[in-house]
Amino acid sequence: MPTVIDSPEESPRARVLTTRSVPPGESLDYWHDAVLDTLVGMDITTEGRTYDATLRTDRLGELQITTVEADPGTVHRAPRFIARGDGQQVFVAVQSTGRARVEQDGRSTELRAGDIGFFETVRPFRTAFPERFRMKIFAVPRRLLDLPEADLRRLTGRAISPGGGLPALLAPFLERLADTSESYPAPTAQRLAGSVVDLVAATAADQLAQDPAELPGADGVLLLRVRTYIRWQLSDPGLTPAGIARAHGISVRYLHRLFQDEDTTVCRFIRELRLRECRRELAAQPPGSVDLGRVARRWGFSGPAGLGKAFRTAYGLSPTDWLDRVRAGGAPC
């Protein structure tokens, strides 16, 4: 396990791992362990026997943010690492300085300063850094992005330039957030993490729509946009299929068909998202401080009664009984 360098300037959540904490001859082995412990398993090759590298990692809600600054080298996410099952996230990376030559899913590209790249950790990739670099990596749980596997394959191995549109919002937002993540209290951090997921999902949908050669179909792109819209409007108790359809210029019947093809319904999708956010917020609150009414209204329920009914329907437990089970160490529903 790599040595953690504590700093009085870092929050209790953040930690720093640096090769400068070990003898030069042990630096590359140390870095292998640090990357495996923090990100995923990868082969790392360099020109020399010593390696100067530092990573800083922190959490923002369910997201992990890692800033890597290192000498030139090559990393390879090989199949033997994937077989270990440590790739449960999608990496959304911003190239801060230097360059990165990326290969994944049969494509290759070069990330330059400011560019955004998607990396799938369940499939091999290779990245070469020809010069010293800094990269900021947001590890996003795959389930939060809610992107089909086929669409994720279309996003990897590409450089998304921040020249305009949504990437121009996303790139500086991620850059700044990586630098300031430790400064936010937990409730704010949770909301910011949700904003990251929403903006990443919207950017992904926008990129897919702009590339006719890789288009997953008009319905697929529209569904991504609808899902992102729902996430943005989740706290609105008046969020209805009719309002969603109107906002996208389609009929309610067409909207229902989009979700039917995904083996769900619009209302079920909304309810599941709301319950997920309520569970997350309830579990994060200290014992004795839970305000069911505030949590319910924050995520679009009419009040405690509406939240309680939804919980009992979905999990067979009231919100308080569910929370007691989680705090007692039981498996959450």
Model confidence pLDDT, tens digit, residues 301-320: 989 999 999 999 998 999 98
Q: Is the pLDDT of residue 10 over 80?
A: no
Question: Which tokens is 199 given?
Answer: 């903006």
In the chain, where does the domain assigned CATH 1.10.10.60 lie?
Answer: 233-327
Q: What's the mean pLDDT when you consider all of the chain?
A: 86
CATH 1.10.10.60 fits 233-327, yes or no: yes
Residue of 123, 140, 2 whose CA lies nearest to 65: 140
> Residue type for 102, please?
V
- For range 158-187, the mean pLDDT: 91
Q: Of the CATH numbers 3.10.450.50, 3.40.50.300, 2.60.120.10, 1.10.3720.10, which one belongs to the domain with range 15-214?
A: 2.60.120.10
Tell me which of 176-190, 248-262, 282-296, 298-312 is least confident. 282-296
Residue 331's pLDDT is 52
Residue 18: pLDDT band (50, 70, 90) is: very high
Q: Is the pLDDT of residue 16 over 70?
A: yes
- For range 83-92, the mean pLDDT: 85
Residue 144's pLDDT is 86
Ordered strands of the 43-45 beta sheet: 43-45, 73-77, 125-129, 100-104, 107-111
> Residue type for 232, please?
W
Tell me which of 140-154, 198-212, 236-250, 290-304 is least confident. 198-212
Compute the chain's Rg from CA coordinates. Answer: 21
Q: Is the pLDDT of residue 192 over 80?
A: yes
How many angstroms separate the CA atoms of 322 and 329, rounded? Answer: 11
pTM for this entry:
0.67
The 3-state secondary structure of 40-62, one letter per residue: CCCEEECCCCCCCEEEEEEEECC
- For range 130-156, the mean pLDDT: 90
Residue 210's pLDDT is 65
- For range 8-13, the mean pLDDT: 45
- For range 160-187, the mean pLDDT: 90
Q: To the nearest whole percent, how much of the chain has pLDDT over 70?
A: 91
Question: Which tokens is 252 given?
Answer: 């309610």
C-alpha distance from residue 319 to each of 109, 153, 295, 329 (Å): 48, 38, 11, 16
Alpha helices in 11-145 (DSSP H): 27-38, 79-82, 142-145
| Pairing relationship of beta strands 125-129 and 73-77 according to DSSP bridges | antiparallel
* Residues 199-243 pLDDT 10s: 998 898 888 876 544 434 567 677 877 887 888 788 888 999 999
Residue 3: pLDDT band (50, 70, 90) is: very low
Q: How many CB atoms lie within 10 A of CB 3?
A: 13
Residue of 107, 134, 146 whose CA lies nearest to 123: 107
Residue 332's pLDDT is 55
In the chain, where does the domain assigned CATH 2.60.120.10 lie?
Answer: 15-214
More confident residue, 47 or 305: 305
